Amino acid sequence: MLSDLPLDSTSAGTSRTTGSSELWDDALRVIARKLSAQNFDLWFRPIRCQEIDGQTISLLAPNQFIKEWFETHYQQVVLEVIGEGSSRPYTIRWTIDDSHTDEEPAKEPAITKPTPSPAKVASEPARPSDSRRQASAAQRGSKSTPEHQDLGQELLARYIFDSFVIGPSNQLAAAASRAVADNPGGKYNPLFIYGGVGLGKTHLLHAIGHQIQADHPTWRILYLKTETFMNEYINMVRSGKIDEFRVKYRDNTDVLLMDDIQYLGGKERTQDEFFHTFNALFESHRQIVVTADKYPHEIPDLEERIRSRFQWGLIADIQAPELETRVAILQKKAELDQIALPPEVALFLATNIKSNVRELEGLLIRVAAFASLQQRPITIDFAQDTLRNFLTQTAAQLTVEAVQREVASYFGVKVTDLKSSSRQSSVTKPRQVAMYLARKLCKSSFPELGLKFGGKDHTTVLSACRKVEALLDSDPQLRGMVSEIERHLLA
């Protein structure tokens, strides 16, 4: 239980204490009982209590976003808990941790003109200079982005903030994206959004671009896929036009929105070019937003210097939507496309389709199209009949054996390893994940799972499932792995 967790220097607790700092630890234990484990880990564990001096509590936040969210949603509750029984009210003094900006300079200069170091940039107001923007626009003839879509791919009109449905699974990413759109080049630069296929990462990228474009029509907003960046770089090198490439990305771009950054992995020369492009934009307070299907440290063959730069800003994940969010997504899509979708049908579809938002919306369009062609109302029976093949296929795939094969493939082990008695960490972790997913997706009993995992006792399976459930609340990397495997199984 959260209330039993040790609150030491590695968790929500103190980094420099006084005799009164135990008040902070006691308050956390009380609050932990009232919050979900996910919310506690997300908003309380990153906060450090440096000291409590009299009635002043000194807190250290990893970034401005966490600090502001904590102030808005939890600070008053904390003060009330700590202040119980005290005749004088406590106050909080905040400090933002900028230690991540103390890295060594890049091995090669990012741009030819003198620029401030990352540490200096972090200490200055991050809002882009209007005078710099005006001068930049004047150099380019003061032409706006809509007239020059050759800079990148066109922003899709349907992907705006108003059409993005927010739920617990994407709340942080959505809030951070709005903050970036309101203050580009400011507090959360870069913004790194990661999550599985079809969960809304691209939607948020376009929404950011649309809002910035509306607020700053002369800024150059560049949205593109990472693969496009790589192919263009290769073609420019071959044609001897690398200087044009660098002018486009480093000088003529005010906001860089880059999708699927995981494809940089293993591309050494492209990574080097992106590294210097990143430096040029960051050091001149221009906004960078990237998306990936993995956490930065999970992207294979990605240089450490690039991983570390992604951590200079804010990293926000998007998980598979909960049932209520899936229903809301379907209702929003139906409203936008003028589809008469009864609530009971929306619930039926959301209950049976769990993999991703893109598939959910696609199947709604399929049902609506068939209903229109046949001039029939959309009912549960009609939806079930229209999607019969899809639903049957999905249900047939969700066997314990299918889960074992998918997990074994993901972790690079054999199915026989999952059924063995090996206690090596390279096997025990995949085995526990496989047991957890088989229990969740196949609804098998613990004794049944024990038999299918090599004749193990049902208590072994129960223990594995509980361990994975506990780790999912505190380990974002494992949460991402399990979500990705689950999406593949439900696809």
* pLDDT at position 351: 83
Q: Average pLDDT for residues 354-372, to the nearest whole number?
A: 85
pLDDT at 396 over 60: no
- One-letter amino acid at 321 equals P
Closest CA to 24 of 5, 1, 47: 47
Q: Within a 13 Å sphere around the CA of 236, how many CA atoms are in the beta-carbon half?
A: 18
Q: Average pLDDT for residues 198-225, to the nearest whole number?
A: 93
Express each pLDDT in 237-273 by its tens digit: 888 899 999 999 999 999 999 999 999 988 889 999 9
* pLDDT at position 6: 39
What is the maximum span of the chain, computed from C-alpha positions, in angstroms? 75
Lowest-confidence region among 65-74, 129-138, 478-487 = 129-138
* pLDDT at position 477: 83
* pLDDT at position 36: 66
pLDDT at 355 over 90: no
Q: Where are the domains of the chain?
A: 2-97, 118-318, 323-395, 398-490
**Per-residue confidence band for 21, with pLDDT thresholds at 50, 70 and 90:** low
Express each pLDDT in 291-339 by its tens digit: 998 888 888 889 999 988 998 888 888 888 888 888 998 998 898 888 9
Q: How far is CA 138 from CA 141, 244, 278, in A?
A: 5, 18, 23
For residues 487 and 491, what is the distance between their CA atoms, to the nearest angstrom?
6
* pLDDT at position 151: 54
Lowest-confidence region among 197-201, 413-417, 440-444 = 440-444
**Per-residue confidence band for 392, with pLDDT thresholds at 50, 70 and 90:** low
Express each pLDDT in 101-146 by its tens digit: 333 333 333 323 333 333 333 333 334 444 444 444 444 443 343 4
**Per-residue confidence band for 38, with pLDDT thresholds at 50, 70 and 90:** low
Cβ–Cβ under 8 Å, residues 314 and 192: yes
**Per-residue confidence band for 147, with pLDDT thresholds at 50, 70 and 90:** very low
pLDDT at 87 over 80: no
**Per-residue confidence band for 86, with pLDDT thresholds at 50, 70 and 90:** low
Phi, psi at 160, each rounded to 5°: -130, 170
* pLDDT at position 211: 94
* pLDDT at position 43: 76
Between 39 and 352, residue with greater pLDDT = 352
Q: Average pLDDT for residues 88-112, to the nearest whole number?
A: 56
435, with CB counted inside 10 A (0-12, 13-18, 19+), is: buried
Between 472 and 129, residue with greater pLDDT = 472
Closest CA to 229 of 276, 296, 181, 174: 276
pLDDT at 17 over 70: no
- Does 118-318 match 398-490 in CATH topology? no
Q: What is the mean pLDDT of the chain?
A: 79
* pLDDT at position 64: 73
For residues 117 and 104, what is the distance between their CA atoms, to the nearest angstrom?
9
CATH of range 323-395; options 3.90.1150.10, 1.10.260.40, 1.10.8.60, 3.40.50.300: 1.10.8.60
For helices 476-490 and 425-442, what crossing angle results, to 10°? 50
pLDDT at 169 over 90: no
Between 11 and 120, residue with greater pLDDT = 11
Q: Which residues contact 42 (CB under 8 A, 6 or more apart)?
A: 172
According to CATH, the topology of domain 398-490 is Chromosomal Replication Initiator Protein Dnaa; Chain: A; (1.10.1750)
pLDDT at 10 over 50: no
Between 456 and 36, residue with greater pLDDT = 456
pLDDT at 429 over 60: yes
Closest CA to 184 of 158, 162, 215, 155: 215
**Per-residue confidence band for 12, with pLDDT thresholds at 50, 70 and 90:** very low
Lowest-confidence region among 118-122, 148-152, 192-196, 446-450 = 118-122
Cβ–Cβ under 8 Å, residues 296 and 307: yes
* pLDDT at position 478: 87
Cβ–Cβ under 8 Å, residues 409 and 444: no
Which residues partner with 49 through β-bridges? 14, 59
* pLDDT at position 45: 79
pLDDT at 450 over 80: yes
Reduce the secondary structure of the chain to three states and give it as a string.
CHHHCCCCCCCCEECCCCCCCHHHHHHHHHHHCCCCHHHHHHHCCCCEEEEEECCEEEEEECCHHHHHHHHHHCHHHHHHHHHCCCCCCCEEEEEECCHHHCCCCCCCCCCCCCCCCHHHHHHCCCCCCHHHHHHHHHHCCCCCHHHCHHHCECCCCCCCHHHCCCCCCCHHHHHHHHHHHHCCCCCCCCEEEEECCCCCHHHHHHHHHHHHHHHCCCCCEEEEEHHHHHHHHHHHHHHCCHHHHHHHHHHCCCEEEEECHHHHCCCHHHHHHHHHHHHHHHHCCCEEEEEECCCHHHCCCCCHHHHHHHCCCEEEEECCCCHHHHHHHHHHHHHHCCCCCCHHHHHHHHHHCCCCHHHHHHHHHHHHHHHHHHCCCCCHHHHHHHCHHHHHHHHHHCCHHHHHHHHHHHHCCCHHHHHCCCCCHHHHHHHHHHHHHHHHHHCCCHHHHHHHCCCCCHHHHHHHHHHHHHHHHHCHHHHHHHHHHHHHHHC
97-103: long-range pairs with CB below 8 Å, 24+: 97/48, 97/60, 97/61, 97/62, 97/63, 98/122, 98/123, 100/308, 100/311, 100/312, 101/312, 103/308
What is the CATH superfamily name and number for domain 118-318? P-loop containing nucleotide triphosphate hydrolases (3.40.50.300)
Q: Which CATH class is domain 2-97?
A: alpha beta
pLDDT at 210 over 50: yes
Looking at the chain, the whole-number percentage of residues with pLDDT higher than 70 is 80
Lowest-confidence region among 116-125, 199-208, 237-246, 404-413 = 116-125
410, with CB counted inside 10 A (0-12, 13-18, 19+), is: middle
